[in-house]
Amino acid sequence: MVSIDAGFLSLMLHPEAKPPDDPVTNKPVERAKERIEQLLEDLDAAQERIIVPAPALAEFLVLAGKDGPQYINELSLRSHIYVQPFDQMAAIELASMELSARGKGNKRQPGSPQAPWQKVKFDRQIVAISKLHGVHTIYSDDGDVRNIAESFGIKVVPCWKLDLPPNKTPLLDDKEPPLEIK
């Protein structure tokens, strides 16, 4: 099972979503939408279930504005995607994560010390819900989500590390000039 955050949800559902910047080039991730589509195809082929933590959905819906109901409907049509709430069990998981971090001498869980506290709480809820449901990977471009998740043994994959889909016309990729027909 895997989890996606608001950024990945945006790229998945909204064709005009702004891709994140690739830290190597400092430019928007090349072919981000195609990378997300390839990821979804790969996850589907592996019969992998995808969860969307409710706080990530809330972040996305704020961005979606009045189009939110349309996106909720689209999500409901995808049988392998499940929205998971921040419920009593997730609250217990989050408390356990916090106590574990404090036991290691951390006053605050990993994440960006500059991040607003409300953002940190959302990020921690996203990770707690993912951990509770046994995800092995969270797809997120958020460095704070990555720091928190990795501190609890959950792999995080950003958009810029996703594979590009295979070229459907490999012959056109040749670096050699085309043969001249006389």
In a domain, 49, yes or no: yes
The residue ranking higher by pLDDT, 14 or 57, is 57
In a domain, 179, yes or no: no
Tokens of 141: 């471009």
Asked whether residue 73 carries a pLDDT value surpassing 60, the answer given is yes
Structural domain total, the chain: 1
Tokens of 36: 């997300």
pLDDT for position 108: 54
DSSP 114-176: TS-HHHHHHHHHHHHHHHHTT-SEEE---HHHHHHHHHTT-EEE-GGGSPPPPPS-GGGG-SS
Asked whether residue 87 carries a pLDDT value surpassing 90, the answer given is yes
In a domain, 150, yes or no: yes
In a domain, 182, yes or no: no
In a domain, 51, yes or no: yes
Q: What is the pTM of this model?
A: 0.84
In a domain, 181, yes or no: no
Q: What does the alpha-carbon distance between residue 26 and residue 24 come to, in Å, rounded to a whole number? A: 6
CATH number where 110 lies? 3.40.50.1010
155-157 and 21-22 beta bridge pairing: unpaired
Asked whether residue 109 carries a pLDDT value surpassing 70, the answer given is no
The residue ranking higher by pLDDT, 173 or 76, is 76
In a domain, 178, yes or no: no
How many residues are listed for the chain in this entry?
182
Q: What residue numbers bound the domain in which 57 lies?
A: 2-173
Instruction: Give the pLDDT confidence of 32-70 residue by residue, as tens digits.
Output: 999 999 999 999 999 999 999 999 999 999 999 999 999
For the chain, what is the mean pLDDT? 87
In a domain, 28, yes or no: yes
